[in-house]
Structure 1
Amino acid sequence: MKIGKLDIDRPVILAPMEDVTDRAFRQLCKRHGADIVYTEFVSAEALRRGIEKTVRKLKADPVERPLAVQIFGSTVESMIEASVIAEEFQPDYLDINFGCPTRKVAGKGAGAALLKEPEKMAAIAEAVVKAVRLPVTAKTRIGWDHDSINILDVLRRLEDAGIQALALHGRTRSDMYKGKADWGWIAEAKRHARIPLIANGDVWSPEDALRMFRETGADGVMIGRGSIGNPFIFSGTKHLLKTGTPLPPPDFRLRIKAAIEHLQLSVEFKGEKYGTLEMRRHYATYLKGLPKVSVVRNKLVREEDWRAVEAILLDYREECEGYAREGRIREYAEYLNDHSDKLVLNYKASNTTI
């Protein structure tokens, strides 16, 4: 798949997710094999006003490359200004969010709301392409609702506007995150595409990613919710694509190790107080399915000292060694298969674009 100077065969990509794909999580996913990572999505209006919290979302380290910055907005003017600011942070490419279904974004005429105004969508895309020297891509859904699926028209308009690749989530805006992503529409879009097409939606395992490549013919696969608490999905997918054989599912030792690494990175980038507090939302997904996890989680979310949190996790790892000897540890793959639709219940209230 080629975007600007990037040329990666069958890339496995971390999707942009608000409150999830910060520097800590991006770097963790890179360690586990993600080919390309995206920032949290960034408001054009907040960026042009210089809101510090928003500007911080654009900061990245060289180890994260290739890196894409995603922005959203509802006017040509704000998107031009925001794209020029974003370019100063030197990402590998700039992505436009035409897919977020939440009220915070779509309710303000941005994200998936622009599926109802394909002419305006194309105008924004063309303006951003002309405003920056970076390659520009986009991410969207198949339509506003099932009575107005217009992805083929949208695809043509975005191609004509100069977009260099399109990531497509196989749901409509009205679907939000319910039901199953329609990979058939992704395959149909790929058949008509003149640019690389990245498939997105309902990838919970390396086997899902392989099946998505095969069923859609996509140039790349983008993983969002399936990576939360499960950065191993990238290394597992890369191994499966390369060898045709799956890796063993990550055991409790790897899962707890990843949680500790995530905590350490979070503290490094956000400081001891906020880095520790913001990790609270992640423990459930790293530990879910393990014995007596609710007791441990209650301890974790009460602690404000990251060293104490690390100690709790290390103690729990030793506890799990005993459970393993007793045969009380569930297979991680079994947990994923049983609970994939519940993996990120805490995140559906936030504004993920996956």
Structure 2
Amino acid sequence: MAEPHASFVIGDVTIRGRVLNAPMTGITDLPFRRAASRLGAPYVATEMVACDLLTRGRPDVVRRAAVGEGLPLTVIQLVGREARWIAAGAAMAEAAGADIIDLNMGCPAKEVTGGLSGSALMRDLDHAERLITAAVEATTRPVTLKMRLGWDDANRNAPALAARAEAASIMAITVHGRTRQQFYGGIADWDAVAAVKAATRLPVIVNGDVIDAASARTALTRSGADAVMIGRGAYGRPWIAAAIGDVLETGAELAEPDLDIRLAIVLEHFADSLRFYGDALGLKVFRKHLGWYVENAPWPEVPAARREAKSRLCRLERARDVEAALIGLWRERRDERPAA
């Protein structure tokens, strides 16, 4: 296994760190990607973008692929079933400014697999390979692939798909250590990702159940992967990829932001969401982030009070009221801290 803090290369792109942020629908929009990037994340992928809807110009889908200032790297993740839409989406992603184009063959959601996209493609490797070829031939940018271990335990064919992907000029592979049938249940099988690493010379990124430095280090060791990807562990913690990367590099303890820094992070993320979506939609979209920020805040652990604070904030209807309530809540909690 390579040193976890060293840079690695995907095509002609150098990734300056080995703890990456996963693409997450409804989460990794442009404001979140900017927040994580400001805090040192080396790689934050977009939300999953449906190629057919992107090429047809549906506004909410186009917005998911938004490229903006403040991003050291833009990774646009595409999903689809038809080669013509995959090719068109890849070309559009490159034109929009993507540094890397990622293909989703791992999403387990029924609305995705029901359309024979996402992890459903692991049931038809011939067609999966055709889609990979369509994307690679439509763009000059590096194309990567995100997958699961397979459809179910009887069909753990990730190594076979990885070998085909490499032959079709994919530049890196991310593997979530569960099958589609597991969804997010059970425990991610990092050991099984080692079989994918053995099947290809490409960089392999291990994903699933990475929430802190200890789990990141264990996932890397057991999988032999070149990098690790954090998904749900970044909810309310846009700094976590950079923080874990620092631990892996230096051996120091995980550095979590203090209350004042967290408040500044929340307010900047909120303001960016309002600018990006407009006040009404920006507030609606941000509420889930707001809840996670409160859940993860380093306050005295009084679950009922934390739930009440989250509920109160998420009921507010005006952006300026949310900002004022946030500042007030943080000041209250700061004043509650015992003196050193």
TM over 0.5: yes
Provide Cα deviations, 1:94-151, integer angstroms capped at 9, x if missing partner: 1100000001211110000000001100111011101111111110001000111011
- Determine if contact 1:68/1:91 at 8 Å carries over to the other structure: yes
CA distance in 2, matches of 1:252, 1:174: 40
CA distance in 1, matches of 2:153, 2:234: 28
Pairing 1:181-196 to 2, within 5 Å after superposition = 181-196=188-203
SS at match of 2:61: helix
Provide Cα deviations, 1:311-345, integer angstroms capped at 9, x if missing partner: 11111112112332299xxxxxxxxxxxxxxxxxx
CA distance in 1, matches of 2:255, 2:24: 27
Paired position in structure 1 for 2:324: 311
Shift of 1:215: 2.4
Paired position in structure 2 for 1:294: 307
CA distance in 2, matches of 1:210, 1:3: 21
Amino-acid identity (%): 34
SS at match of 1:325: coil
Asked if residue 61 in structure 1 is aligned to residue 74 in structure 2, the reply is no
Q: How many residues align?
A: 327
CA distance in 1, matches of 2:16, 2:281: 38
- Determine if contact 1:139/1:166 at 8 Å carries over to the other structure: yes
CA distance in 2, matches of 1:250, 1:136: 34
Asked if residue 2 in structure 1 is aligned to residue 9 in structure 2, the reply is yes
Amino acid at match of 1:274: L
Shift of 1:253: 3.7
Greater displacement, 49-58 / 210-219: 210-219
Provide Cα deviations, 1:167-199, integer angstroms capped at 9, x if missing partner: 110000000000111000112211222111111
Shift of 1:9: 5.4
TM-score (ref. length: structure 2): 0.91
Greater displacement, 278-287 / 196-205: 278-287
Paired position in structure 2 for 1:221: 228
Structure 2 portions without partners, runs of 5+: 1-7
Greater displacement, 192-201 / 290-299: 290-299
- Determine if contact 2:187/2:209 at 8 Å carries over to the other structure: yes
SS at match of 2:228: strand
Paired position in structure 2 for 1:230: 237
Asked if residue 107 in structure 1 is aligned to residue 81 in structure 2, the reply is no
Provide Cα deviations, 1:181-234, integer angstroms capped at 9, x if missing partner: 100011221122211111111111122222222222211111110011012212
Paired position in structure 2 for 1:333: none
Shift of 1:285: 1.4
Structure 1 portions without partners, runs of 5+: 328-354
Greater displacement, 74-83 / 165-174: 74-83
Shift of 1:7: 2.2
CA distance in 1, matches of 2:218, 2:246: 14
CA distance in 2, matches of 1:108, 1:174: 16
Q: Structure 1 residue aligned with 2:25, among 18, 29, 37?
A: 18
Paired position in structure 1 for 2:173: 166
TM-score (ref. length: structure 1): 0.88
Asked if residue 279 in structure 1 is aligned to residue 286 in structure 2, the reply is yes
Paired position in structure 1 for 2:213: 206
Amino acid at match of 2:235: I
Higher RCO structure (Cα 8 Å, ≥6 apart): 1
Paired position in structure 1 for 2:161: 154
Paired position in structure 2 for 1:245: 252
Shift of 1:300: 1.4
CA distance in 2, matches of 1:206, 1:34: 14
Paired position in structure 2 for 1:342: none
CA distance in 2, matches of 1:49, 1:9: 34
- Determine if contact 1:170/1:183 at 8 Å carries over to the other structure: yes
- Determine if contact 1:43/1:54 at 8 Å carries over to the other structure: yes
Paired position in structure 2 for 1:129: 136
Q: Structure 2 residue aligned with 1:178, among 185, 196, 199?
A: 185
Judged with a 3 Å threshold, the aligned counterparts in structure 2 of structure 1 residues 126 and 4 are, in CA distance, closer, same or farther, namely same
Task: Please tell me the root mean square deviation across aligned C-alpha atoms, in Å.
Answer: 1.7
Provide Cα deviations, 1:31-79, integer angstroms capped at 9, x if missing partner: 2221111111101111121111111222212421311101101111221
Amino acid at match of 2:329: Y
Q: Structure 2 residue aligned with 1:144, among 135, 151, 158?
A: 151
- Determine if contact 2:160/2:199 at 8 Å carries over to the other structure: no
CA distance in 1, matches of 2:330, 2:88: 49
